[in-house]
Amino acid sequence: MASFNTFTRVCPETGVVPFLFIAVAAALDHCRGALCVDPIMPKRKNTYNQEVGDTKKLKRTTLLAESAPAIPDNWTQGISLLIYKDRKAKASSKVLGLDLDGTVITPSSGRVFPVDANDWKLISPRIPDILKRFADEGYAIVIMSNQGGLEKMQDKKIPEFKTRFEAVLSKIGVPIRAYFAISNDVNRKPRIGMWQALEADNDGIEIDRKVSIYCGDAAGRVAKGKIKQDHSHCDRLFAENLGVLFKTPEELWKEGERVDSTYPLLFNPKEFQDIAFSTSSPVPPPLKDFPSKGAVLILMIGYPASGKSTFCNNHLTQLGYVIISRDVLKDMKKCVARCEQLLKAGSSVVVDNINVTAASREPFLKITKSLGVPAFACVMQTSLDHCRHNEMFRQLTDKNHSKIGSIVFNQMKKHYQTPTKNEGFEEIFDVPFVPDLRFDPQRSLYFQYLLEK
């Protein structure tokens, strides 16, 4: 039998998943037998930041004495990053970053998604010449693309994707590096994990963002004539987070009708930066005196991730309020019973639940009416889209956080009922969102665009 080598590829810093690559000698082409080696895959560590950092040269382990020439493999795969590095691609301080689908290629079938590895064509025939010109000017050409569809059924989808991408590179004919985000974590645009991975593996050359460019079709453009509205802002926001020049495919390839108008963003974290480190107390003055004067009930009202718990823990507990939360007691009936117990004992209570409907507030207000205890509402002034941003920040920075999906937010928006005094409140206060980011090592991430639109 002809000899063969098995190579183990490991990158401990990035959490790259080990895999087996079998190089078969040319003599095997004439053999009729089948050769199969089953890889043993270790458990993956579930930590988001393993994907950003150096991608070291992979180890080679020869299992047999006789060896055949290695088949070049330009791919490495981690928990959430699929990386391609052409051996001829040179590192540079100048980067031309590109999205892939809708920017460089599109399905030749005319469908939204490719039907197989051969279903693609270049967006423009000018692409090879334009990219060669950038390469000649010293730019590193780097694809950075969201490919969440590869996360499931990887054994089937990823080989097909690799085949398609390598065919695209052959057509372009320019050395290219590529990063593909296959999970919804710090690497998915508009978050900048893919760019950080490039910076960490750029042969020690610092990338100059002021002269670098990113081009993508997800630019948040409105519909115009037969041109459909962009599905998101993620490419434009990716460039904004990085501080690099952004171009649409029409601008870069100098082909097709340009659309410059964009639909508005619903939340801009950068505009919020000035007030995020405020040290002033957001507690309404009348509520500061109550615990010392007697029992009082406060109902917090707001969407998940609106800042209710931060407000309660950082401000109300210091004033003597006792917090009741369904997250802790796990049952609404227990919350109501505990509230009544504390109010009867003369304690001031704050109910840290969402309380977005009149029906959810009613059991607590019945208690205050029967006991003659004043009730106040504190309504968080955090928009739904700001809450979605906060929720994504939690997902990215807290591995133990239970994800809250868009469906939950949309349902709460649908059923939200603004509180009124007729329900039994003596006063209703608006409370601004004031995060506590002074000592958070991830605070720079908070002020980046985290959502795709």
Of 19, 150, 153, nearest to 76 (Cα)?
19
Q: What is the pLDDT of residue 241?
A: 97
Which amino acid type is present at position 197?
A
- Quick one: tokens of 129? 């010449």
Return d(Cα 137, Cα 141) in angstroms, integer.
11
The architecture of the domain spanning 80-264 is 3-Layer(aba) Sandwich (3.40)
Return d(Cα 421, Cα 82) in angstroms, integer.
56
Do 382 and 336 meet the contact criterion of CB atoms below 8 Å apart?
Answer: no
| Matching fold, domains 80-264 and 285-446 | yes
- Quick one: tokens of 23? 């190089």
Domain ranges of the chain: 1-72, 80-264, 285-446
Which amino acid type is present at position 385?
D
Do 216 and 103 meet the contact criterion of CB atoms below 8 Å apart?
Answer: yes
* Coil vs helix vs strand at 394: helix
Predicted confidence pLDDT, tens digits, the chain (453 residues): 443 333 333 343 444 443 333 333 333 344 333 333 333 333 334 433 434 433 333 333 333 333 434 445 899 998 899 999 999 999 999 999 999 999 999 999 989 888 888 999 999 999 999 999 999 999 999 999 999 999 988 889 999 999 999 999 999 999 999 999 999 999 999 999 999 999 999 999 999 999 999 999 999 999 998 899 999 999 999 999 999 999 999 999 998 888 888 888 888 998 887 766 666 677 888 788 777 778 999 999 999 999 999 999 988 998 999 999 999 999 999 999 999 999 999 999 999 999 999 999 999 999 999 999 999 999 999 999 999 999 999 999 998 998 998 899 999 999 999 999 999 999 999 998 877 776 677 888 999 999 998
Return d(Cα 258, Cα 254) in angstroms, integer.
9
For the 285-446 domain, the top CATH level (class) is: alpha beta
Q: DSSP H helical segments within 302-399, as ranges?
A: 308-311, 326-329, 332-344, 358-371, 384-397
Do 336 and 367 meet the contact criterion of CB atoms below 8 Å apart?
Answer: yes
Return d(Cα 119, Cα 109) in angstroms, integer.
6
Q: What is the pLDDT of residue 21?
A: 35
Q: What is the pLDDT of residue 196?
A: 97
